[in-house]
Amino acid sequence: MKILVTGANGYLGQGIVKQLLDYGNDVVAVDYTIEKIDKRADRISCDLFSIDNPYVYFNTPDVLLHLAWRDGFIHYSDAHINDLSKHYEFLKKFSESDISMISAMGSMHEIGFYEGSIKEDTPCNPITPYGISKNALRELTSMLCKNNNKKFQWLRGYYIVGNSQYGSSIFSKITAAEFEGKSEFPFTMGQNQFDFIDYKDFCEQVALAVEQDEVLGIINICSGHPEKLADRVERFISENGYKIKLNYGAFPDRPYDSKAVWGDASKIERIKRRIK
């Protein structure tokens, strides 16, 4: 299978491309810069949104995995709204091509404030530009695929745990602070519970989802259970042998974060059982 991955040089893209290649797929990996992308992929540096016929330009892939997105960790960035029409036009061109399936990366922030297990049919009431834009693109892409008879996947991502110092998650920030020799890290009280998934598991789940086309629609990329933020961060510090300590209460909790939220993992578990 030939899979086109956009945003391939990003934090998620690097690991997902590697996993897809390890599973034996042909990967066309695309981004503005390509220096961090696995060299086994067909790497292409370009501006996605300036290409008239991306399906032909990227050598007629079987599947599009659209990861590209600016300012994913800056939830109130204007880029989310400003770029939405560009993503729509890009995906529209693919929906009108001969591609078999369009998969795109979503976010649990599409849901908005919610407590409990997020299922495929959980109503979405996003409250940040990031969540609003992701949710709008989900609905638009679903419409495009339906109108053009394409298979559609929306991979709804949850909270990723990884020790790269170059990401924007709290785990990346703690890693960067540790490497800088800082003794304390400013923190909330950490009592909210979220669905945390290790970076490697996240990449594996995405790769497993997109290399099959029987389980479709919204697929939660998640662990399937909640854990207190403080517990997961303390465990992360211990797992990596860091010396840094958390300064509890330095920041308030974000008002739009749920007290306890996690993904329903039934679909991704069904995909895993199929593969086995």
Q: With pLDDT > 90 as the criterion, what percentage of the chain qualifies? A: 89
Residues 240 and 268 in one domain: no
pLDDT above 70: residue 128: yes
Which pLDDT value is given to residue 259? 87
Looking at 130, 158, 159, 199, which residue is catalytic? 130
H or E segment and range at residue 84: helix 79-95
Q: Quick one: 230 and 187 in the same domain?
A: yes
Q: What is the mean pLDDT of residues 70-77?
A: 90
Residue 91 φ then ψ, to 5°: -70, -30
Mean pLDDT of the chain: 95
Instruction: Say if strands 227-228 and 63-66 run parallel, antiparallel, or are unpaired.
Output: unpaired
One-letter amino acid for residue 231 of the chain: D
Note whether residue 47 is domain-resident: yes
Least confident of 42-56, 127-141, 173-187, 246-260: 246-260
CATH code of 30's domain:
3.40.50.720
CB atoms within 10 A of CB 273: 8
pLDDT at 123 over 90: yes
Q: Do 135 and 210 belong to one domain?
A: yes
Q: What is the mean pLDDT of residues 190-214?
A: 96
The label of the residue with tokens 């598991």 reads 201
* 114 is a catalytic site residue: no
* Same structural domain, 128 and 202: yes
Q: Which residues pair with 215 in a beta bridge?
A: none
Q: How many CA atoms lie within 13 A of 64 on its CB side?
A: 31
Residues 105 and 33 in one domain: yes
Determine the pLDDT at residue 166.
66
Neighbours of 149 (CB within 10 A): 7
Residue 11 has pLDDT above 80, yes or no: yes
Pair 63, 117 in one domain: yes
104, 141 contact by CB (below 8 A) = yes
Residue 168: inside a domain: yes
Residues 88 and 57 in one domain: yes
State residue 225 phi and psi, 5-degree precision: -150, 155
Identify which has the larger pLDDT, 73 or 81. Answer: 81
253 lies in some domain: no
Structural domain contains residue 74: yes
Taking 80 as the threshold, does the pLDDT of residue 63 lie above it?
Answer: yes
Q: How many domains, in total, are found in the chain?
A: 2
Q: Which two tokens stand for residue 141?
A: 């892409």
- Of 84-88, 89-93, 162-166, 222-226, least confident by mean pLDDT is 162-166
Can you give the residue range of the structural domain that contains 239? 161-193+226-247
pLDDT of residue 168: 72
Tell whether 95 and 213 lie within a shared domain. yes
As a whole number of angstroms, the distance between CA 267 and CA 272 comes to 9
Residue 254 resides in a domain: no
Q: What is the mean pLDDT of residues 141-147?
A: 98
Q: What is the pLDDT of residues 251-264, one digit of tens each?
A: 888 777 788 999 99
Q: Is the pLDDT of residue 12 over 90?
A: yes
- Mean pLDDT for 87-107 is 98
Res. 276 pLDDT band, cuts 50 70 90 = low
Which of 56-65, 99-108, 137-146, 244-253 has the least mean pLDDT? 244-253
Whether residue 265 is predicted with pLDDT greater than 70 in this model: the reply is yes
Residue 163 scores a pLDDT above 80: no
Instruction: Give one word for 113, left, alpha or beta, with left for phi > 0 and alpha for psi -120 to 50.
Output: beta
Q: Which two tokens stand for residue 112?
A: 């908005």
Instruction: Measure Cα distances from 252 to 131, 187, 244, 247 in Å.
Output: 21, 8, 20, 12
In this predicted structure, the answer to whether residue 103 has a pLDDT above a threshold of 90 is yes
